[in-house]
Amino acid sequence: MKRTEALAILSRDHHQALFVAHRLRRATAETVREERRRFLDFWLRDGRRHFRLEEELLLPAYAVHGDAHHPLVLQVLGDHVAIRAQADQLARAPDPNPDRLHDLGATLSEHVRLEERQLFAVIEAAIPADELLDLAHALERTERSDELDESRFMIQESLHHGRPEGPPRPVRRDRG
Ligand SMILES: [Fe+2]
Ligand SMILES: [Fe+2]
């Protein structure tokens, strides 16, 4: 199936992530420092931003139409937490055991494949074409700027057909 424009933006990042993951998995005692550096450069420059695009734009856009607790959504979010934790540990270890890089490389490549092979198909089936286009524009805008939060607001606005909602209502909790 042809990727929609919105998801093609994220797929471009995935190619880069798979390359970095491949290098991590092949790290040896000789290359461990170089591959650690390569991963951290990727992570700080592009990886974290990509995760935020998915967490703050892509998955909420899906949840307007689909189940926010879909097993794939939960799996993807759990992967993000695990990869963030492993990246943080790697940043604190200047001379890590290569096993640590192999584990991270495996987690990262499995995560990307899950999104490409399963999650994206579910999202493309759930979100109407015009909203996918809005999502593509929001992702593009955000890639070019640091204003992730503003961009999220704008996609939410357009998802509600240009009618901005009022301030959020307090959550009602039934007692007893
Ligand atoms: Fe992801
Ligand atoms: Fe991704």
The two three-digit tokens of residue 22, written as one number = 């491949």
- Cα 76 to middle of ligand 1, angstroms: 6
Ligand nearest to the CA of residue 83, numbered in listed order: 1
Domains of the chain by range and CATH? 5-159 (1.20.120)
Regarding predicted confidence, which is higher, 147 or 139? 139
Write out pLDDT tens, residues 28-52: 999 999 999 999 999 999 999 999 9
Q: Where are the alpha helices (DSSP H) in 26-159?
A: 32-42, 48-53, 59-63, 71-91, 98-114, 120-126, 129-144, 148-159
Task: Please list all protein residues whose beta carbon sits less than 5 angstroms from ligand 1, which is an ion.
Answer: 54
User: What pLDDT does 170 receive?
Assistant: 53
pTM, to two decimals: 0.81
